[in-house]
Amino acid sequence: MRASISLKTVTLAAALMAAPLTGAYAAGHHKGLLDATAPTDFTGPRVTTLTEQIQGVDQGIAEARQANSISASEARQLHMRAAHISQAAQHVAASDHGRISSAQYHDLLRRLDNVDQRLMNDTGSGFMIGDGSDGGNYPNG
């Protein structure tokens, strides 16, 4: 199956990669004697992991849509939720000099896992709960 990446995903990835460069460029041109702090670094392991996870979920959404496993409106909603998580990660990292605290990181991963679980449920590949004794198995979520 061909992997397709949406324009939104490419734009988001480009913005995440360009952000540290623009901050370093601006900081380098306006640095005074008292401004000896390092430029903001948005490429820490937590930010990188979140970015890769979001791209993976976005790719899964695109593949599910291409396979007609989900409707266009479901895909749009899931893409928007993933983009919102990405924006939240950028905001958190920008407000704390490129760092994401452990608690915030785990909260963002939990939110992304919820999007991924919703995708799996929408495509019918989520794990089922129940043993069938009450008439069937039900999707978890």
Mean of all residue pLDDT scores within the chain: 75
pLDDT at residue 118 is higher than 90: yes
Give the tens place of pLDDT for each residue, 71-82.
999 999 999 999
3-state SS of the chain: helix, strand, coil percent to 5? 65, 5, 35
Give the tens place of pLDDT for each residue, 34-83.
444 444 445 578 888 888 999 999 999 999 999 999 999 999 999 999 99
Res. 16 pLDDT band, cuts 50 70 90: low
- For the beta carbon of residue 20, count every other beta carbon within 10 angstroms: 17
